Amino acid sequence: MKQTMKRQSIRKTNRSQELAECLKPNPVYYPNPITFQKANQFNNASRKRPLELLEDFISLDNDDDDNQGSHGNGKESGTSTGCDSYVHWFRSDLRVNDNRGLAYAYRKARAEDRPIHGLYVINEHDWVAHMESGWKLTFIVEALKELGSSLSKYGIELHVRQFEPDTPLLSNSKAFSEWFVHTVEEITGTGNSTLVTANLQYEVDELYRDGRIARLGNTRNNFKLRLFHDQCIVRPGALTTGKGSQYTVFTPWYKKWVSYIEHDIDGTLKTPHGLNHPTDTKDFQQLPIDYHLPERFTSYIPEQHLHTPPATEAAALEAMKNFIEGRGTKYNENKDLLATDGTSLLSGYITIGIISTRTIVLSAYLANNRHIMNKNKDVKNNNSLETFIKEIAWRDFYKHVLCHWPFLSMDLPFKFETLNIKWQQDTTHFEQWCYGETGVPIVDAIMLQLLHTGYINNRARMITASFLAKNLLVDWRYGERWFRKHLIDYDVASNIGGWGFCSSTGVDCQPYFRVFNMTLQSQKFDPDGKFIRRWLHLPHTTDVHQPSNTAIVDLKESRERALEKYREVM
């Protein structure tokens, strides 16, 4: 069988440069990658985790009348006194509704008759270092415009400021923390006491960034930082084993997650007070957001294909409603199919925070007769909406795992022994995988969909990840970085968790001897071949499930090779 496809042009793309970015961490920003010996210090408690370090400088706030939600969701540097002004620092929470940090700042500002501002900070160096995708960044810029419009209805101006250092610096640098505090002072007026609220991000660089700012804030009388647990439904560290340790297996953790929520539905899923419309905003006008995403962040995306969903809260809520009331009722049957949209398509909205996972789970819970999980607590007996809620739980699980083992975002696997796997490191095979040129139809169709849409469903991610790590025996970290660069919904914890699962190197991963049979995966999840034909433009007379005669590996032989290499180290 020979496959042909009319390839879409890739504008200004330098393949070798794009591929080279995926082969190792960016040496400009990470010149000294962490070793597994240094990483193991997190395990033996000789080195504090970033979240623990942050907690050293921001103590738990005990003000019960702040109505911050249960389970201690707020942390603040300095003392809890009134301020001259309030600023909410938007990060991965580009929404007005169900936003803990914003709701707190708004309540305090209105109660004290003080001004409140919104702030979003751009540091393109962070985007380069973290390999953020053009799809995701385009979505963020569009969301900022919508957010500014939404905030203006409440008399809140959104300030978008850019950190532009003379040399490449991440936001966890001393220079950024000083610039940030100065920027806040410029917005609110030098000398005014200001409380900055923000919702926690659990990635390592971001936690170190917040730690620097918190330490700096503690040296000043006019600047305070308060952080909120908002991304997860259950905050990291709240669920532990009987021995008090972080779970490494999802299912028992998930059952405890369910029990935790069921024990206090109002406390965990309750949305904070909304923002009341003030009466004095008729003359308020949001200034235009004067930022344009440089072409270098999108130049590798195929021409005329950079389309993102409407970046509004209304669109996200409508998509959620349509899914829960429609496709969500058949989620168990359709979530893995490739030719149809059987998933919620909400992941892009969740990742940049246009909608919260609390809002989603609460809606699914109410639609499911107020059940998070089936009464028997048997995962296999979950109905479609319960399975969907379980998928949201996976997002929490991987963030909890990342907080406990921060080295997972530093290009190290959970299973240190897998560092000794003798990967083939065939960059030609990696390139063919990236651009859908392997000769294995199911793999090539998925990778082309990723290139041209910025999205593939979870089953598609598992298929292509298994093929790269097992059949091609290419270092899974190459593929993890490629997904970073191309997914509109890229999330550090979920992406690393998924790749660790498929490559048998991560937390609660599949056994090393499980290697997906590409033919069976194709027959099961694209039985009519509609998906493959759509992307490869193959005639209906072609058997689309079998590898072509030009396939770059033999599936059976490559499986045996993978088992041999894994056995050597496991």
**Could you read off the pLDDT of 203-222 as tens digits, one per residue?**
999 999 999 999 999 888 89
> Is the Cβ–Cβ distance between 97 and 128 less than 8 Å?
no
Between CA 237 and CA 246 the distance in angstroms is 7
Q: Could you tell me where the DSSP H helices lie in 426-516? A: 427-434, 441-453, 458-466, 476-486, 492-502
Give 190's pLDDT tier (boundaries 50, 70, 90): confident
Half-sphere exposure of 434 (CA within 13 A, CB side): 27
Q: How far, CA to CA in Å, does 217 sit from each of 5, 76, 163, 205, 418?
A: 57, 10, 19, 18, 42
Q: What pLDDT was estimated at residue 278?
A: 66
Between CA 482 and CA 485 the distance in angstroms is 5
Between CA 391 and CA 389 the distance in angstroms is 5
> Is the Cβ–Cβ distance between 230 and 199 less than 8 Å?
yes
Question: What pTM was computed for the model?
Answer: 0.93
Between CA 519 and CA 523 the distance in angstroms is 6
Q: How far, CA to CA in Å, does 160 sit from each of 120, 121, 246, 294?
A: 5, 6, 38, 16
- The per-residue pLDDT for range 140-179, each reduced to its tens digit, is 999 999 999 999 999 999 999 999 999 999 999 999 999 9
Give 318's pLDDT tier (boundaries 50, 70, 90): very high
**169: which DSSP letter?**
-
Give 66's pLDDT tier (boundaries 50, 70, 90): very low
Between CA 237 and CA 508 the distance in angstroms is 18
- The per-residue pLDDT for range 386-409, each reduced to its tens digit, is 999 999 999 999 999 999 999 999
Give 306's pLDDT tier (boundaries 50, 70, 90): confident
Pairing of the two strands 74-76 and 223-228: antiparallel
